Every structure is written in C-alpha cells, then in structure tokens.
Amino acid sequence: MSLENLAYLAEIIGAVAVVASLIYVGVQIRGSNRVNSANARHQISVFVLEIAKFHAEHVDRLAKVNEQTELNAADEQFRWWCHMMFMLHAETYYHHYELGLMPAGHWNGYVRFVTGYATSPGMREFWEDVGPGFSKNFSDWMTEIVERENARRVAAADAV
C-alpha cells in the first residue's frame, strides 16, 4: 500500500470517527436535556409543595383574606405575600414553558388556574403595584390576564 493510499484511508477513518463522535455527543446532549427537564419539573413540584404546606398551615387566615373585605394591616400584608408567592411560582412556570421544559398539556391546565386566580381579592391592586417588577414577557402576559378577567367579572356583576 502506498503512502498516498494510507493517507486516504486515514482521512476516511478520521471522518468516520468524527461522525461517530457527533452521534455520541448528540445522544449525550439529548439525555442531559431529559434529565434537566425532569429536574426543572421536580423543582417546580417542590415549590408547589411548599406553597401547599404554607396554605395548609394558614388555612383560617387564608379564608379570612379571601372572603372578607374589612382587613387589618397584618391581614393585608399576609394577602400581599400570598399573591407574591403565587406570582413567583407563576413566573417560574411561565419561563419553564417558554424554554420548552414543560409539556403543553401541563401548561394549558396551569393557564386556567392562573386565569381563575387573577380575580382573587386584592390581586388586581397587587399586580398593578408589583407587576412591572417581574420579567417583561411574563408581566405583559399576566397584565393581559388580570385586566381581561377583572373586566369580565365587572361585566358579569353589571349584568346582574
């Protein structure tokens, strides 16, 4: 075999090795993405669990701030921080969906949940106060929901 033929053979072996390496890297990246996606979902679940535990520990106070209009300053602050916890969670979900880390089926159900929450007592005032402090895309999306759902609620009340 001549030196020229050996050089051609080496180039072919090198090309095959590069393709094999790229396939291997692709498989590794795909597996890593799946693990990262699962980890992101797990972290959101942990966040939800913490909020659920908080709600369970404060169920009487939550009922008060969601049902009564006459609240003392401490109750107003409590309701404000409940809204903040929910919005921090919603923004996390929003960005996970935008990054493709959440299936559309999960997201669609969550959007219905957020839409219902938008008319919670004190939510509109809370959002007008702090909404611009969240990320621009999330803030725009949430502002649209709050305005639309509160307008719908007012229209329903006027129709009665």
At 96-153, the pLDDT tens digits run 899 888 888 888 888 998 998 898 999 999 999 999 999 999 999 999 999 998 888 8
Q: What is the pLDDT of residue 62?
A: 87
Better-scored residue on pLDDT, 51 or 144: 144
Q: What is the pLDDT of residue 160?
A: 73
Question: Is the pLDDT reported for residue 69 higher than 80?
Answer: no
How many other CB atoms are found less than 10 A from the CB of residue 149? 19
Q: Is 11 exposed, middle or buried (0-12, 13-18, 19+ CB in 10 A)?
A: exposed
Q: What is the pLDDT of residue 154?
A: 83
Interior angle at CA 96, CA 84 and CA 31, nearest 5 = 145
Question: Is the pLDDT reported for residue 81 higher than 90?
Answer: yes
Q: What is the pLDDT of residue 147?
A: 92
Q: What is the pLDDT of residue 141?
A: 96
Residue in this structure with the two tokens 């759902």, named with its chain if needed: 149
7: confidence class by pLDDT, cuts 50, 70, 90: confident
| Mean pLDDT, rounded, for 11-39 | 83
43: confidence class by pLDDT, cuts 50, 70, 90: confident
- Which tokens in the block code for residue 23? 């396939």
- Which tokens in the block code for residue 46? 């942990």
Cα of 87 vs its chain's centroid, Å = 9
Residue in this structure with the two tokens 């590794």, named with its chain if needed: 28
Please state the pTM of the whole predicted model. 0.71
Residue 113 main-chain phi, psi, to 5 deg? -65, -45
